[in-house]
Chains A and B, each alone.
Chain A
Amino acid sequence: MSRVPLRPLARILSARQKGEDHKAIENENIHQRMLAARGRQRQMAEGRLLIASICFAVAFSAVGVKMFALSSTEPREPRTASSASKIYAQRANIVDRNGRILATNLSTYSLYAQPHLMTDPENSAVELATIFPDLGVEDLLEDFTGKRKFLWIKKKISPEQKQRVHDIGDPGLLFGPREMRLYPNGKLAAHVLGGAGFGREDVHSAEVIGNAGVERTFDAFLRDPAQENAPLELAIDLSVQDTAERVLYGGMKLMNAKAASSVLMDVKTGEIISLVSLPDFDPNTRPNPKATLDAADNPLFNRAVQGVYELGSTFKLFTIAQALELGLMNKNTMIPTRGPLVWGKFKIRDFHDYGAKLSVTDVLVKSSNIGTAKIAIDIGVKRQKEFLDSLGLLTATPLEISEAAGGRPQLPPNWSELSAMTISYGHGIANSPVHLAAAYSSILNGGYKVEPTILKNPNPERGERVVSEQVSATMRDLLRQVVVRGTASFGEVAGYEVGGKTGTADKPNPQGGYYEDKVIATFASVFPASNPRYVLIVTLDEPSENSGAKPRRTAGWTAVPVAAEMIRRIAPLVGLRPVIEPGPGFGIVQAKGSSQ
């Protein structure tokens, strides 16, 4: 294209010379320039349109390629929040000290319904109600025809029930596998084991979580997959536990007590061989706590661990042991016991009048409150407090049963000298039977502290010393004398050298003061006294022995015979051999017949 001049001057000039109109020439020139510009525009636009179309072709191809790349990869399963944390259903077994099963798992099924999948809700409701009599036809039908798309019917069903539900043939009735916790021994050691229930659950599995006892304390351990189902070994001996429960139950009935508890502890290790609290329950069908019942009357209440009681004269052991340990007196020192002992406006009396004075030994053997209180004055408030604390009597026990933390001792708000005197014979301070067992073990085992434990603990570390070896031996001797010639004479079991101390404490009245006719009777015993192996605490709540003219409630008449019977049965089970007293014909005698 030839270039069009801006103004065709040559032509305009020649036109002017000719006298023609030069405007036409200019217009024509403008038109030509416009055409030329348009041509250039068009050529440029052609190129740029080509670029644009290439761009679009590339862009769409890119989408296609990406689409191909994406569709030729494997889809990733969309993760949901629920599957992110897997439910571990496996829960470790719990076994006794000899490896016998206390708690295990059973594979079972849960039953649930998806009503929108059901073919015949009416028939299914009727059939289900016949299989599970506790379900109502109307309720089921209402659920099945309502808007819900999912509902649990039964959390645990037996194989027979599963088969019968299966036979209904409704596709909307479905089963989810479950691991359920099984306690094959029923009520045995119920308070130790506690119980377990379902936590988070879905259709495929459910979490079993412990909600009481060792099941709760060791919940994390039992559920830890890293433990590879190593069983939890308890110190409990199943045979001893069973015997203790039976004897205690019989004793409770015989002594007309409303409740009872017993603790058998290994003196040296603090292992609890048996722990009983009556009334009890079956952990397989753990009852719901009834709101109407007083907490202490609830079968779920663990009296041996949670129940804190004034344990009465059993505490005299601590006072006298401390007095001997401090060197304030020896077992033959005479203590004035003329009563009543007046302190301010309070008077301390004895059950009987024991005369002007008693030896320290007899203060314990005859159980003189006045004598013990006098000794406590010599010891003083501060030292008494320190000593009881060293025995673990002022804080909750470290026992691994989850309820133990609730067994917090009740202490006087202001520990005065009067408090020291009453505490010296076990009033004004409340402890659980496990506290008492651990403290007795600590004093009687040679004088070093033990902590109560429910776990099998074959190699215990020796605790710090609380009393000397000598004082420990003296105290065993004194306890033995209590049985031989004192308040616990019914506690004698031939061959097992039982020693022990009775305690009878009036029950506090919630309205204030104490009941006249309700006591907590306790017998804290050790056997064999010369070479101690076990401490046994037996506590009866509101016992009453009615064989005599009037009811007898002291521990010597109630708790002691029950404990004696328990020792008689248990001692052979734990492998103790009776010491046979030499009979009159013992030794080498001449055979009568041979001399003739």
Chain B
Amino acid sequence: MTEMVYGTVHVRSGDPVLPRWWRTVDRWVLISVLLLFGIGILLGLAASPPLAEKNGFDDFYYVKRQAFFGLLSFSAILICSMMPPTMIRRWGVIGFVFAFAALALLPVFGTGFGKGAVRWYSLGFASVQPSEFLKPVFVVLMAWLISASHQISGPPGKLLSFMFTLTVCAILVTQPDFGQALLFLFSWGAMYFIGGASIVLLVVMASTVVFAGTIAYQSSDHFARRIDGFLNPEIDPRTQLGYAANAIQEGGLFGVGVGEGSVKWSLPDAHTDFIIAVAAEEYGLILVFLIIFLYMAITVRSLLRLMRERDMFARLAGTGMVCLFGLQAFINMGVAVRLLPAKGMTLPFVSYGGSSMVASGILVGCLLALTRTRPQGEYEDILQKDQHRHG
């Protein structure tokens, strides 16, 4: 009766948004990311005062900024991870247009901050590195193109995505920023691989990368010096790598003690590219193992969750993001222990850097959205099969 008088009570078709989010999101990855962020603040307390002192700010200026960017980043994670995959796809493609334009216009409006490569826009209170923001949206666009190509009579998405990747990499190489170019190329390769490329093709591509690297080695001094530095087994203790290695050795198992480290005074990039050396020196192997474990947990767990994913776009986009994230972390730490040649790259969520922090937040937010537990079409399949059987 009441229904007839007052109309039906509005009943939502599903659960409330937040509880459903909490139930379906990959909570382990979320917690890992938060832990990494906390470690980043902890290390920033130790690593950034020398720089702040040098630049004439108060001791914890950079820590405050990092906390602020951390909040922004966390909001990005929350917002992005609540989006359904279709929305991510839509916004990602739109975002790609803007980020790509920003990247392409860098030579006109960008600034190098006197460091040689033009990678930033200066906004006064902060600087923005468009290549960081390009990462998540690039992955989304590539995943969409590759997955679309698998539709019957779909677009030639693989070829298109390859062209896009080459364009982006070409722009990055001219900056020059070989590290980011490598990341983009690698994440595209990973998506292509998961998207069903033949192994032969991948081998051909890998050898092309090696060939391109050789060309770059011969034509670019910037690049050649770093490779030479890596290949030389005798490490010069007065280089960044030498200081980093020394810091790790000094740290030992339990570190020299909070605030007692010395590497942060000698390394100009202690708070960004070599933050792991600060961690190793002051807190020892324990904290380093924890950091490595967290990155490994995020990557491996996300990849395993993606195995269940039936939607091709979600699977590919998720793969691309995990690979970008994981590879960046791996390269950063690999350089510090001399597994890899010197390559400036931030450690996501731990290193200081506004663009990196927020962009990583968007990336992980999208990743969490894509790895959320969803009905994976099993019922639909069953129903369809039933239908077919009945029909």
Partners in one complex: yes
Give A contacts to B, CB under 8 Å: 28, 30, 32-35, 37-38, 41-42, 44-46, 48-50, 52-53, 56-57, 59-64, 66-68, 70-76, 78-80
- Say yes or no: A46-B330 contact (C-beta < 8 A), given A72-B252, A74-B249, A75-B246: no
B245 near A70: Cβ-Cβ < 8 Å: yes
A40 to B: closest C-beta gap in Å: 9
A66 nearest CB neighbor, chain B only: B337
A45 CB contact (under 8 Å) in B249, B315, B338: B315
A63 CB contact (under 8 Å) in B249, B292, B388: B292
B300 CB contact (under 8 Å) in A57, A67, A71: A57
A107 to B: closest C-beta gap in Å: 33
A71 near B339: Cβ-Cβ < 8 Å: no
Bound Cα distance from A46 to B303, whole angstroms: 9
Bound Cα distance from A50 to B194, whole angstroms: 10
The answer, yes or no, to whether B319 is at the interface (CB within 8 Å) is yes
B276 to A: closest C-beta gap in Å: 8
A52 near B296: Cβ-Cβ < 8 Å: no
A49 near B319: Cβ-Cβ < 8 Å: yes
Bound Cα distance from A42 to B147, whole angstroms: 12
B388 CB contact (under 8 Å) in A32, A37, A53: A32
Bound Cα distance from A79 to B295, whole angstroms: 35
B295 nearest CB neighbor, chain A only: A60
A78 nearest CB neighbor, chain B only: B237
A45 nearest CB neighbor, chain B only: B194
The answer, yes or no, to whether B386 is at the interface (CB within 8 Å) is no
- Say yes or no: A62-B152 contact (C-beta < 8 A), given A42-B310, A49-B306, A78-B242: no
Inside 8 A of B245's CB, which chain A residues have their CB?
Answer: 70
Bound Cα distance from A526 to B316, whole angstroms: 110
Q: List 14 A-B contacts (CB under 8 A).
A: A28-B391, A49-B194, A49-B319, A50-B303, A50-B304, A52-B194, A56-B299, A60-B296, A66-B334, A67-B289, A76-B237, A78-B238, A78-B243, A80-B238
A116 to B: closest C-beta gap in Å: 14
A52 near B323: Cβ-Cβ < 8 Å: yes
Chain B facing A: main interface SS: helix
B62 to A: closest C-beta gap in Å: 25
B330 near A59: Cβ-Cβ < 8 Å: yes
A49 near B248: Cβ-Cβ < 8 Å: no
- Say yes or no: A41-B196 contact (C-beta < 8 A), given A53-B303, A63-B334: yes
The answer, yes or no, to whether B193 is at the interface (CB within 8 Å) is yes
Interface membership of chain B positions 224-253, coded 1 if the CB is closer than 8 angstroms to chain A and 0 otherwise: 000000000000011000110110111111
Inside 8 A of B190's CB, which chain A residues have their CB?
Answer: 52
Inside 8 A of A62's CB, which chain B residues have their CB?
Answer: 334, 339
A63 near B333: Cβ-Cβ < 8 Å: yes
Interface centre among A28, A66, A80 (most CB of B within 10 A): A66
B288 nearest CB neighbor, chain A only: A67
Inside 8 A of A66's CB, which chain B residues have their CB?
Answer: 334, 337-339
A63 near B299: Cβ-Cβ < 8 Å: no
- Say yes or no: A52-B319 contact (C-beta < 8 A), given A28-B388, A63-B292: yes
Bound Cα distance from A71 to B248, whole angstroms: 5
Inside 8 A of A45's CB, which chain B residues have their CB?
Answer: 194-196, 307, 312, 315
Bound Cα distance from A44 to B307, whole angstroms: 10
Inside 8 A of A75's CB, which chain B residues have their CB?
Answer: 246, 249-250
B153 nearest CB neighbor, chain A only: A30
B19 to A: closest C-beta gap in Å: 29
Counting from the closest, the 3 A-B pairs by CB-CB distance are: A75-B249, A53-B303, A78-B237
A45-B194, A52-B323 known; 20 other A-B pairs, CB under 8 Å?
Answer: A35-B381, A38-B310, A48-B193, A49-B307, A56-B330, A59-B330, A60-B296, A60-B330, A63-B292, A64-B288, A64-B289, A64-B292, A66-B339, A67-B337, A70-B248, A71-B284, A71-B288, A75-B249, A78-B238, A78-B246
B22 to A: closest C-beta gap in Å: 25
- Say yes or no: A53-B249 contact (C-beta < 8 A), given A44-B196, A45-B196: no
Bound Cα distance from A34 to B150, whole angstroms: 9
A46 near B388: Cβ-Cβ < 8 Å: no
The answer, yes or no, to whether B47 is at the interface (CB within 8 Å) is no
A56 near B246: Cβ-Cβ < 8 Å: no
A552 to B: closest C-beta gap in Å: 75
B133 to A: closest C-beta gap in Å: 24
A62 nearest CB neighbor, chain B only: B339
Bound Cα distance from A414 to B250, whole angstroms: 77
A63 near B339: Cβ-Cβ < 8 Å: yes
Inside 8 A of B306's CB, which chain A residues have their CB?
Answer: 49
Inside 8 A of A38's CB, which chain B residues have their CB?
Answer: 150, 310, 312
- Say yes or no: A79-B237 contact (C-beta < 8 A), given A48-B194, A60-B296, A74-B249: yes
Bound Cα distance from A42 to B196, whole angstroms: 9
B244 nearest CB neighbor, chain A only: A70
B337 CB contact (under 8 Å) in A32, A53, A63: A63
Bound Cα distance from A35 to B245, whole angstroms: 53
The answer, yes or no, to whether B280 is at the interface (CB within 8 Å) is yes
Bound Cα distance from A393 to B194, whole angstroms: 97
Bound Cα distance from A56 to B325, whole angstroms: 11
B296 to A: closest C-beta gap in Å: 4
The answer, yes or no, to whether B348 is at the interface (CB within 8 Å) is no
B152 near A30: Cβ-Cβ < 8 Å: yes
A67 CB contact (under 8 Å) in B243, B280, B391: B280
